[in-house]
Amino acid sequence: MSQSQGVSASSPAAAAAAPSQPGRRSKVAVGQMTSVGDQLANFNTCKQLAEQAAAAGCSMLFLPECFSFIGASQPESLSKAEPLDGPAMARYRQLARDTGLWLSLGGFQETGPDPEHLYNCHVVLDASGATAAAYRKVHLFDVDVPNGPVLMESRTTAPGDKLVACDSPAGRLGLSVCYDLRFPEVYQTLTWGMGAEVLLVPSAFTKVTGKAHWEVLLRARAIECQCFVIAAAQAGKHNEKRESYGHALIIDPWGEVIGRLEDPQGTGIAVAELDFELLSAVRTKVPIREHRAKGRSQLAGQLT
């Protein structure tokens, strides 16, 4: 798996070593919605969430995987794939300009490498509507969920091969999508190798796996990486075949939930302030970076 910085001007090593600026804070909103098989209806929902986030004084809104479309079949989703400079994404670029928000668009059906496959692409737009970063989901969800659906994402989705981090008004972001959450090495690389302060996990978790694993995995990633974690979520019933868990969260570097929707299955936003002095304090009091380097040195040749 290769690595990429997105479009950040700073190097990963420099970003990883740089201390947080004293007093630096950022107010952000995490979104939750129930996407359906109507792109315009989904956009109107995202627009409402963006307007709420802007009215609350947020610098950035984080939207879930499949924010633009969830169809009743994989071929239907494949038929909606577009390039990132296409008309579907153009609406969201204009939304960023209209609201003055940075937008994390957690999983877009991007045109793929061949007619049978798309990319599940997490796109970050700046407030001018320009692409700040784009990450193509690496780990694809090919799982027979116990007492749930059989989901074979790889049938119509091609995996990406680069990790991506970028700078934003909400801190240095490490991008991922949904099933990536189960692979802690992704987040450790984003944090310790690429300087991430905020880990993004936009998702459409199933109800069965969400109830069992969603919050505990998110809090684990926050604690072990000493990062904020922002997890936008799909919620509720999308169609006769698909239902999502919801429970969008914002978690601090100590593992505490600091943002949660009042209705875990509803549509809306939760707002929280990211305090980067807290992040610096946590990393100082429990110096995982230094201990990790010593441990890796001692276990040289044994870690993969």
Single out the catalytic residue among 66, 121, 166, 178.
178
Single out the catalytic residue among 137, 153, 207, 243.
137
* CA pair distance 261, 241, nearest whole angstrom: 25
pTM score, two decimals?
Answer: 0.92
| Catalytic (active site) residue 178 | yes
CATH number, span 26-298: 3.60.110.10
Q: What is the pLDDT of residue 22?
A: 59
Cα four-point dihedral sign 6, 24, 130, 228: positive
* CA pair distance 253, 230, nearest whole angstrom: 11
Q: What is the pLDDT of residue 130?
A: 98
Q: What distance separates the 2 farthest-apart alpha carbons in the chain? A: 55
* CA pair distance 2, 242, nearest whole angstrom: 33
Counting other chains too, the contacts that 290-299 makes at CB distance below 8 Å and 24 or more residues apart are 292/192
User: pLDDT (tens digit, 9 = 90+) per residue, 190-235?
Assistant: 999 999 999 999 999 999 999 999 999 999 999 999 999 999 999 9
Please enumerate in sequence order all residues whose Cβ is within 8 A of that of 282, keeping only pairs 6 or more positions apart, or say none. 226, 253, 254
Q: What is the pLDDT of residue 82?
A: 97
Burial class (CB in 10 A: 0-12, 13-18, 19+), 304: exposed
Single out the catalytic residue among 58, 65, 110, 153.
65
Q: What is the pLDDT of residue 1?
A: 47
Helices 87-99 and 39-55: angle between axes, nearest 10 degrees: 20
Minimal CA–CA distance to 24: which of 211, 207, 280?
280
Q: Quick one: tokens of 52?
A: 């709420």
Q: Quick one: tokens of 296?
A: 């890796």
Any idea what the Cα angle at residue 253 is, between residues 216 and 28, rounded to 5°?
95
The radius of gyration computed from the CA coordinates of the chain, to the nearest angstrom, equals: 18
* Residue 150, number of CB atoms within 10 A of its CB: 8
Please answer whether residues 121 and 137 qualify as being in contact, where contact means their C-beta atoms are separated by less than 8 angstroms: yes
DSSP 237-277: E-SSS-EEE---EEE-TTS-EEEE-SSTTSSEEEEEEEEHH
Look up tokens 């922002």; give the residue.
Answer: 230
Q: What is the pLDDT of residue 100?
A: 98
Q: What is the pLDDT of residue 126?
A: 98
Q: What is the pLDDT of residue 52?
A: 98
| Catalytic (active site) residue 82 | no
Minimal CA–CA distance to 279: which of 163, 191, 200, 151?
191
The ranges of the chain with pLDDT < 70 are 1-22, 148-149
Q: What is the pLDDT of residue 149?
A: 66
How does the average pLDDT of the chain come out, rounded? Answer: 92
| Catalytic (active site) residue 65 | yes
* CA pair distance 276, 182, nearest whole angstrom: 26
